[in-house]
Amino acid sequence: MDELTQQYLDYLIIEKGLSDNSLASYSADLVQYINFLENNRIHDLNNVDTAVILAWLVDLAQKGLSAKSRARHLIAVRGLYKFLISEKKLIKNPIKNVDIPKTGFALPKIMSVREVSALLDAPDIRKPRDLRNSAMMEIMYGAGLRVSELILLRLQDINLDANFVRVMGKGSKERIVPIGSPARIVTQQWIKKGRPFVLKKISTPYLFIARAGRPMTRQSFWKIIKKYALIAKISKNITPHTLRHSFATHLLEGGADLRSVQTMLGHSDISTTQIYTHISRDYLVKMHQKYHPRN
């Protein structure tokens, strides 16, 4: 079973291009599943039936795992069986008709347009590192990037004449996303003035650099966001991803169509993007209640 599981993990690396973090999560969930089978004297995946799958889910619940965590485990194991059947390593799929545990509907946190403006105006762009931080936040909100995509941007990925950025997203999928004038202007200033000062003659392909020309870490950028949120007096608990969520929501509130937002976010499945329509719907309800004369 360990060998079959490793074949699936290799497939996720080579064919799906999963990130290290995602791969580690899949691997941990699959190890727990295999341990459960072996503890119950099952040493062949062909001997697993639906009853065993349900017993495994009950075991996860008894160990205190939330519905969301159980759903994640089930998705990992479901992928394993789907892969092994496609590779003709197994003849039956005991998990096919098992529903994913209900996790509820968790809306991502977003900021208002006013809060985003306050955050983006917080850096003192007369200072080189503040200039860098300003450009990073402007591009993240202006293009809706993931933090991992932002910190790995290279100089060649941004076209300031045509106002777009080239992004390498999940699964090594490339996409082109427009950026607005504020992002273009401050990034141009960073490239011409701030970046050479911070680099001090060190050569690196990365657009945004920290010490010794290395790209910034996700943790460092998270601290930057926290710093400017404090300066901007934003009481919400925001993260870098909050800017991405706000980007998508503000576009939809402004009238953008869902397919365009899906493309800009780099979502492979439009159902992932549809969560933002619920936020926009809440916004429309609030606007109706506030301005309609019959409310």
Residue 173 sits in the same domain as residue 117: yes
Residues 207 and 139 in one domain: yes
User: Are 16 and 172 a contacting pair, CB within 8 Å?
Assistant: no
148 and 228 part of one domain: yes
Q: Is residue 282 part of a domain?
A: yes
Q: At 175, is the secondary structure helix, strand, or coil?
A: strand
Q: Are residues 152 and 267 in the same domain?
A: yes
78 and 128 part of one domain: no
Residue 93 within a domain: no
R_g of the chain, CA atoms, integer Å: 23
Instruction: Identify whether 283 is part of a domain.
Output: yes
Distance CA 39, CA 227 (A): 48
Q: How many domains does the chain have?
A: 2
Whole-angstrom distance, CA of residue 49 vs CA of residue 143:
46
List, for residues 7-41, the tens digit of each pLDDT value. Answer: 888 888 776 677 778 888 889 999 999 999 999 88
Q: Is residue 175 included in any domain, yes or no?
A: yes
95 inside domain = no
pTM value surpassing 0.85: no
pLDDT of amino acid 184: 94
Domain range for residue 197? 113-290
Using DSSP's 3-state secondary structure scheme, residue 97 falls into coil
pLDDT in tens, 60-76: 888 888 888 888 888 88
Q: Domain for residue 153, yes or no? A: yes
Q: What is the CATH number of the domain that holds 202?
A: 1.10.443.10
- Which CATH number belongs to the domain containing residue 63 in this structure? 1.10.150.130
Q: Which residues are catalytic?
A: 146, 170, 241, 244, 267, 276
Burial class (CB in 10 A: 0-12, 13-18, 19+), 102: exposed
